Amino acid sequence: MPIAFLKKHWFLVGLVALVTGGLSVGMAIPADVLAKWESGNGAVVADAPRWITRIVLFLMAFSLDSGKLRESLRFPLPVLWASLVNSVAIPLAGWGLMGIQGDQSFQVGLMIAASVPCTLAAVSVWTRKAGGNDAVSLLTTLLTNTLCFLVTPFWLNLATSKLSDGQAELEVVQMMERLLYAVLVPTILGQAARLIPAAGRFATEHKPRIGITAQGLILVLVFAAASLKAGPQLRTGGVAAGAIAIVWACCLVIHLAAMTVGGLGARLMGFSREDRIAVLFGSSQKTLPIGVYLATSRDIGIAAMNPFAVFPMLMFHASQLFVDTIIAGRIAEKASEEDEAA
């Protein structure tokens, strides 16, 4: 595999490798060893994803330059439209597609992927690469992540309350409390830390390294989910290939549909080209660490009954990495050709 490809797509390669490796490890771990890891002194291992999630979200928020937000606050409609599609239209689409899934874990997992907020870093990267207004994408990120402790539990409880005769119903208040501490507090602390002059300069100068560190920790989360949750379950009972294909196709369809709705709405409302590009990505991208946390954390209670719930989130994220890389590149190429023609 070429070094240049690895440098550019190391996260995606790592995602595939660690999911595969984690499943293999999980299938090989004896049941008694796994039980020890999840109780007593070994509970530290089981609780690690919760703390890793908080560190990741702090680092991502710390690396976000919110100084540009005043620009998008002067004309907030693009931000509101992108957030509406991301937080309302996508969950509705996920809810509608739950009925065709072949496994309850995939039903719940698809809804998790649909109801988590916008990505914290990638959306600005793709927006900037395509020549869009990254101030809009930044504010969309902060708005959806700030409200996710309300929005995500609402959609998850609404969509999953009837599964298995109500046995899958979630504790909404408990989930809101967990997300408040796991998502909102680290995000606020990360942005507050930037107000310290020395810390702000450090975040700006070392933004790529901070991003790589956060992505590396996300891969740790993924490996933990695959090895401690999904792998052991695969050993006792597998999942049909058809069910995997259906849920992955649904993830891709939802992402592309959200881009289409967001982009068409932005054009109809007369947004500038830069704002339309920001809406395109901000309305359709979903964050990975919060989804992995919801699908695997013992505090939330989803993983116990839905051991494969993490996979739709991984599928959604991998799909948007592929698709948005291609789309951002083509938008940038088209803009370059138009500039040359002019």
Domain with 35 in it: 3-336
Residue 48 has pLDDT above 80, yes or no: no
| Residue of higher predicted confidence among 321 and 256 | 256
How many domains would you assign to the chain? 1
Q: Answer for the pair 250, 90: CB distance below 8 angstroms, yes or no.
A: no
Q: Which DSSP category does 26 fall into?
A: H
Each residue of 100-147: pLDDT tens digit?
A: 998 889 999 999 999 999 987 678 778 888 888 888 888 898 899 889
Closest CA to 136 of 76, 214, 54, 217: 76
Q: What is the CATH number of the domain that holds 301?
A: 1.20.1530.20
| Residue of higher predicted confidence among 294 and 221 | 294
* Nearest-angstrom CA–CA distance, 289 and 59: 12
Mean pLDDT of the chain: 83
**100 exposure class (CB count in 10 Å sphere: 0-12, 13-18, 19+):** middle
| Residue of higher predicted confidence among 224 and 271 | 271
Residue 232 has pLDDT above 90, yes or no: no
* Nearest-angstrom CA–CA distance, 145 and 142: 5
Q: Considering the domain boundaries, does residue 112 fall inside one? A: yes
- Amino acid identity of 232? P
Q: Considering the domain boundaries, does residue 341 fall inside one? A: no
**20 exposure class (CB count in 10 Å sphere: 0-12, 13-18, 19+):** exposed
Residue 45 has pLDDT above 70, yes or no: no
* Nearest-angstrom CA–CA distance, 267 and 255: 18
| Token couple for 284 | 């359709």
Q: Considering the domain boundaries, does residue 200 fall inside one? A: yes
Closest CA to 117 of 97, 90, 77, 81: 90
**Full-model pTM:** 0.81
